[in-house]
Structure 1
C-alpha cells in the first residue's frame, strides 16, 4: 500500500519549479573591463554594485559565472542586452 507523504510532494513540486529555471552565464574574456561588466550587471541584471563586483571577480577567476536565475522569457532580453554591450553571455538549460 502506498502512503501519501505531503513533505515529499512539496519537495517534488519544488524540484519541478527549479527545473524550469535557467541561468544567465557570463564568460570571461580579455576585452571587457571589470568596470564595464559591473556597470552592465547593475543596469541590466539589477544587481547592487557590491553584488556585481563579486560576480565580476567570480567571472574573472573561474572563467564563467551564473549571474541571474529565472525563467527563460525573463532572462532572454537581459542576456541579449548584455551581448549588445559586447559581453559574452549565454542562457543555460
Structure 2
C-alpha cells in the first residue's frame, strides 16, 4: 500500500502504457487491482453481456415451463408471512 502511494503515477502509467495490471495488497492480502480504463470498460461490457445472456436464458426456461405450479406475488408474500409467524 505504501509503495503504491509513493509510486501511484508510475502504477497508472504502467497500467495505461504497458497494459500491465498492478495488484495492491494490504498485510499480504490482495485488495485491489489497477488496470487501464479501456480494459476495465471492456471487461464491464463483457460482464454485462454475460449477465444479459444469463437472464434471457432464465426467462426462456421459465417461459418454456409454463405457469403450472407457479404462484402469484401476493400468494408468495402470504406464504412468506405465514412462515415468519
Q: Report the TM range for the smaller structure's normalisation.
A: under 0.3
Which structure dedicates a bigger proportion of its chain to strand?
1
Higher RCO, 1 or 2 (CA under 8 Å, sep at least 6)?
A: 1
Q: Which has the larger radius of gyration?
A: 2
TM-score by length of 2: 0.27
